[in-house]
Amino acid sequence: MALQLLVLLLITVLLLGVLFVRRKYAYWAERKVPYIEPRFPYGNFADVDRKSQADISVEQCNQMRSTESRFFGLFFFLQPLLVVTDLDLIKTILIKDFNYLPDRGAYHNARDDPLSAHLFAIEGNRWRSLRTRLTPTFTSGKMKMMFPTLRAVADSFGEFLVGAVGAGTELEIKDTMARFTTDVIGSCAFGIECNSFKNPDSEFRKFGQQVFDRPRHGTLVRLFLRIFPEVGQALRVKSLRDEASGFFFNIVKDTVTYREKNGIERKDFLSLLVELRNTGEMHLAMEEIAAQSFIFFGAGFETSSSNQTFCLYELAQNQEYQERARSCVLEAVKKHGGLTYEAVCDMQYLDQCINETLRLYPPLPWLERKAFENYKIPDSNVTIPKGMKVLIPVFAIHRDERYYPNPNRFDPNRFHPEEVGKRHLSSFLPFGEGPRVCIGLRFGMLQSRVGLATILSKFKLSLCPRSTVPLQYSSASTVLQPKGALWLKVEPL
Ligand code: HEM
């Protein structure tokens, strides 16, 4: 009798469970929103550990293309998410109706993991006030001021390459460019000479790599924390590895203390952050200064190094474009008497190559927004409820033949100013858009131009037997990166 009761109880619990899951998965159907059939327990994200986010987004968008809807629904576990694909609606969400969806919902935990509470992740008034205060840090004037620091790193980089390449060699480009951007951002955000060319075991490089290539949690847990941040915070889950956050915090604390004791002034992001605190413009604890330096480093080194890596990879396969980019660099250098700030701002064709690379390989394949209050989608009967996540599939939009004919082909002419003017603003979103657009856009572009100009002015790049064609993307990395190493042949000109 007892056994029968137990079996009955189990069946009832199972049935209730099935009904509960069905009810949850009926969310989009009930609202008459097209959606991709989810599968328990992962919903539409069972593949995240095997496939890159870029590939997943293209598959999902292609699958939903025939619905001709401006948006479609997905599920992460049992949680509904909305993907918006219509360019006008994307523009409205990012710009005009920004106040309804002002946050990203990125996981952070200021109490247990202070470095995670940085500009990219924080929300509400704290974000607003910090963003307003930090924006002047990235003006053209400040970029010009920081240029000598950037140039000094580029010069050492050039010297290193001359030695490493010799009469010609095969070079692992991904690691080489990561070392360059590590040194640039280390120097500009932390005031530290990292020297990761001369010292391959540099701690900056080690911890920078750790943050991106060996995050504390796997993709599934990271996605879970993004969708259910409150659960993670309640369970006191940290997102950064302890030794990495300890390293970055100590570097900032020691550098600030050293500079204050010795009256040292440097023209870098760290000085600008300390200035904000010292002028009383904003109360910033050391943890908060460290968190901002950390995100400048985190957001600045991997994005720019991936951009330069992919650009060199494409130029190695397109000698004609490579030659044009080189001529553009050499002409600007000649015109301005060296690789000056003015010269790097006068390299239109190189910019076209960088932008075409950002189109094909946007470092963030998705933009994310979280509804701050209920938001009725214009010209529809659908309301995005408070707290729901909205995804904008940047990678898939950039590879959509409706906006870019023959979309997988690298063609810098697409970014000739005349061509750009013909396209919708939301068809190109490598830096995001609206009030939450990338704050480091100018610095990112500057860094890419300087790194690429340094290489192209001295070396010719081509494919070698170890080059991978076509590329596959890493499923582990948070930023779009090639899977494994990326080798190219590099020869002095
Ligand atoms: C090629 C280089 C770069 C690319 C492609 C890139 C891309 C992005 C993207 C897509 C976003 C999200 C925008 C949105 O949600 O609308 C973002 C945000 C951000 N980026 Fe960048 N980024 C680059 C370089 C940099 C650099 C060099 C820094 C700092 C020195 C930086 C700092 C940030 C920060 C702090 C945010 C968060 C802004 C906020 O929420 O207010 N990025 N970036």
Distance 440 CA to ligand 1 centre (A): 5
Pocket probe for ligand 1: among 306, 431, 437, the residue whose CB has the most ligand atoms within 8 Å is 431
DSSP 465: T
* Confidence at residue 277, expressed as pLDDT on a 0 to 100 scale: 82
* Confidence at residue 196, expressed as pLDDT on a 0 to 100 scale: 79
* Confidence at residue 226, expressed as pLDDT on a 0 to 100 scale: 75
* Confidence at residue 271, expressed as pLDDT on a 0 to 100 scale: 86
Residue 244 lies in a domain: yes
Tokens 């986010």: give the residue: 53
Distance 255 CA to ligand 1 centre (A): 24
Distance 162 CA to ligand 1 centre (A): 31
Per-residue CA distances from 211 to 2, 110, 115, 426 (Å): 54, 17, 12, 30
- Looking up residue 286, the CATH number of its domain turns out to be 1.10.630.10
* Confidence at residue 151, expressed as pLDDT on a 0 to 100 scale: 93
Residue 480 · residue 54 · CB < 8 Å: yes
Distance 367 CA to ligand 1 centre (A): 11
| Number of the ligand 1 atom closest to the C-alpha atom of 188 | 30
Residue 271 φ/ψ region, left for φ over 0, alpha for ψ in the -120 to 50 degree band, beta for the rest: alpha
Pocket of ligand 1 (CB under 6 A): 104, 119-120, 131, 295-296, 299-300, 303-304, 307, 358, 363-364, 367, 430-433, 436-440, 443-444, 448
Per the structure, the complete domain to which residue 333 belongs is given by 28-492
| Number of the ligand 1 atom closest to the C-alpha atom of 432 | 16
> Nearest C-alpha to atom 20 of ligand 1 is from which residue?
438
> Nearest C-alpha to atom 43 of ligand 1 is from which residue?
438
Distance 93 CA to ligand 1 centre (A): 18
Residue 121 lies in a domain: yes
* Confidence at residue 72, expressed as pLDDT on a 0 to 100 scale: 98
* Confidence at residue 264, expressed as pLDDT on a 0 to 100 scale: 83
* Confidence at residue 193, expressed as pLDDT on a 0 to 100 scale: 78
CA–CA gap between residue 354 and residue 359 (Å, rounded): 9
Residue 429 · residue 435 · CB < 8 Å: no
Task: Calculate the CA dihedral of residues 117, 118, 123, 126 and round it to 10 degrees.
Answer: 90
Which among 118, 33, 104, 117 has a CA at the least distance from the CA of 392?
A: 104
Distance 34 CA to ligand 1 centre (A): 31
Burial class (CB in 10 A: 0-12, 13-18, 19+), 4: exposed
Tokens for 6? 């137990």
| Number of the ligand 1 atom closest to the C-alpha atom of 394 | 10
Which among 365, 293, 301, 352 has a CA at the least distance from the CA of 53?
A: 365
Q: Can you say whether the dihedral through the CA atoms of 24, 30, 33, 34 is positive or negative? A: positive
Count of domains forming the chain: 1
Q: What is the pLDDT along the chain (493 residues), one digit of tens a residue?
A: 688 888 899 999 999 998 999 999 999 999 999 999 999 988 998 887 788 889 999 999 999 999 999 999 999 889 999 999 999 999 999 999 999 999 998 888 888 898 989 999 999 998 998 899 888 888 899 899 889 989 999 999 999 999 999 999 999 999 999 899 989 988 887 777 777 777 777 787 787 777 766 778 877 788 778 778 888 888 998 988 888 888 889 989 999 998 888 888 887 888 888 888 887 667 788 888 999 988 988 888 889 999 999 999 999 999 999 999 999 999 999 999 999 999 999 999 999 999 999 999 999 999 999 999 999 999 999 999 999 999 999 999 999 999 999 999 999 999 999 999 999 999 999 999 999 999 999 999 999 999 999 999 999 999 999 999 999 898 877 789 899 999 999 999 9
| Number of the ligand 1 atom closest to the C-alpha atom of 301 | 27
> Nearest C-alpha to atom 30 of ligand 1 is from which residue?
296
Ranges of beta strands (E only) in 65-137 are: 71-76, 79-84
| Number of the ligand 1 atom closest to the C-alpha atom of 104 | 15
Continuous segment of H or E residues that includes residue 418? helix 417-422
Residue 336 lies in a domain: yes
Residue 17 lies in a domain: no
Residue 10 lies in a domain: no
CA–CA gap between residue 490 and residue 455 (Å, rounded): 9
Residue 77 lies in a domain: yes
